[in-house]
Amino acid sequence: MELDSHGTLLSAIVAVLALVFYFYTSFYVAQARSKYKIEPPAVTGDARFERAYRVQMNTLEQLVFFLPLLCLATIYYRALGWLPAALGAVWVVGRFLYMRGYIIDPKRRAAGFGIAALAQLALLLLTIWGIAKSWS
Amino acid sequence: MELDSHGTLLSAIVAVLALVFYFYTSFYVAQARSKYKIEPPAVTGDARFERAYRVQMNTLEQLVFFLPLLCLATIYYRALGWLPAALGAVWVVGRFLYMRGYIIDPKRRAAGFGIAALAQLALLLLTIWGIAKSWS
Amino acid sequence: MELDSHGTLLSAIVAVLALVFYFYTSFYVAQARSKYKIEPPAVTGDARFERAYRVQMNTLEQLVFFLPLLCLATIYYRALGWLPAALGAVWVVGRFLYMRGYIIDPKRRAAGFGIAALAQLALLLLTIWGIAKSWS
């Protein structure tokens, strides 16, 4: 693997974007905590705070899945070096739509969630394909 | 490090298995959410939902520990290239037993938890050993 | 990247320290669970347990941000190989102070939180700088 190839660098940039987005979701929770006066360690008490907190937690839950897959797909899928990064960018956009939807109304979280889930599934398939090719 | 060596590929396969298992625990929560009618953003209200949710959260908590150790042990412990992957496979089996036990009765989570914890401890020791050998 | 260079090994050691600290926060929760008699799957019921649980969750939330940044900064920032590891060590110390403060009184979590956040920000800047240098 070329750590300095443009494909790998694109994946690194997308990883940074995903981390900055995740930071934004936790910053939003901290703001909601002071705005709706939820004293730590409580994480309940106001539906708007709870929605912001669920967005952060769900982004965390997905990030733990997303980052290793982005990393593995970048390492093992070499046919199109930019493809893992492109799917990663789709993931970030999907999670942003998920956040925007959820904060207005939990029922509106589905579209963004689905987009990010499809990008993750594609990264999983690239990883499996890449490992299978490397093995043989 | 040879990214295409069979030991490294085995570790990558186990990482994918761990991620797929983690996905399964969160899918199970989504199912429990609709089955027991827990409206988001709530995460309480039915003991069966709460158990499923705790299984996911605990798997997340452990995964954040497990994946970096699997990665570090694979990079730095080179005496037996397949050993980190084998310990990783034990971890996945242990977490599966943990989930099956917890969902029946929280008291039955101990055996699976212990198996996974021992596998993690072994990965930690391999990592420390590998770093110490690489340093000198 | 030289996986066996001393800078890279220092980062690996700091990653292990961060993981061991995170393990300590979850071990502390398990202790608090039995001490204050919080039956799983509950995560509420005693303020001391809730504080310990929040420390673990917050450490998890930050760790997911910290470890990838430590890894990316170590890979792409090459001017001073020991600097990512040094910032990582500051992060571990900050999180320890955060934990000690929070357990006494949630209001006393700010200093440690801030130290760790600054170390993370510095790692983020090193990563962006390193990627920009590698691209050109």
d(CA A89, CA A84): 9
| Contact residues, chain B, for A134 at CB < 8 Å | 3-4, 9
Confidence at C14, pLDDT banded by 50, 70, 90 = very high
| Contact residues, chain C, for A16 at CB < 8 Å | 72, 124, 127-128, 131
Contact B67, B85 (CB under 8 A): no
At C89-136, the pLDDT tens digits run 999 999 999 999 999 988 888 899 999 999 999 999 999 999 999 987
Smallest Cβ distance to B9: which of A47, A51, A135? A135
At A29-43, the pLDDT tens digits run 999 999 999 987 888
pLDDT for the residue numbered C3: 74
In chain C, which residue ranges form alpha helices assigned H by DSSP?
6-35, 47-76, 83-104, 110-135
Among A76, B61, B110, B109, which Cα is nearest to C57's? Answer: B61
Distance from CA of A111 to the nearest CA of C (A): 25
Cβ neighbours of B56 (radius 10 Å): 22
In the numeric block, which tokens belong to residue C130? 């390193």
Q: What is the mean pLDDT of residues B46-71?
A: 93
In the numeric block, which tokens belong to residue B3? 């990214």
Whether omega before A84 lies within 30 degrees of 0, making that bond cis, reads no
In the numeric block, which tokens belong to residue A88? 């990663």
pLDDT for the residue numbered B34: 92
Taking CB atoms and an 8 Å limit, are B106 and C41 in contact across chains?
yes
Q: Is the pLDDT assigned to residue A17 strictly greater than 70?
A: yes
Q: What percent of chain A clears pLDDT 70, i.e. is strictly above it?
A: 99
Distance from CA of C74 to the nearest CA of A (A): 12
* Stated pTM of the model: 0.92
Contact B21, B100 (CB under 8 A): no
pLDDT for the residue numbered C1: 57
At B11-35, the pLDDT tens digits run 999 999 999 999 999 999 999 999 9
Smallest Cβ distance to A60: which of C1, C61, C72? C61
Rg (CA), chain B: 17
| Contact residues, chain C, for B134 at CB < 8 Å | 3-4, 9
Q: Report the chain C residue with the minimal C-alpha distance to residue A4.
A: C134
Smallest Cβ distance to A64: which of B4, B13, B60? B60
List the single best residue of A54, A62, A64 to mutate versus B (max B Cβ within 10 A): A64
Query: What is the largest distance, in Å, between two alpha-carbon atoms of chain C?
Result: 58
| Contact residues, chain B, for A106 at CB < 8 Å | 39-41
Smallest Cβ distance to C13: which of B1, B102, B131? B131
| SS3 letters across chain B | CCCCCHHHHHHHHHHHHHHHHHHHHHHHHHHHHHHCCCCCCCCCCCHHHHHHHHHHHHHHHHHHHHHHHHHHHHHHCCCCCCHHHHHHHHHHHHHHHHHHHHHHCHHHHHHHHHHHHHHHHHHHHHHHHHHHHHHC
Q: Is C81 helix (H, G, I), strand (E, B) or coil?
A: coil
Tell me which amino acid residue A117 is: A
At B104-136, the pLDDT tens digits run 988 888 899 999 999 999 999 999 999 999 987
Q: How far lies B130's CA from each of A112, B1, B11, in Å?
A: 42, 12, 16
Q: Is the pLDDT assigned to residue A136 strictly greater than 70?
A: yes
pLDDT for the residue numbered A1: 57
Distance from CA of A136 to the nearest CA of C (A): 26
pLDDT for the residue numbered B1: 57
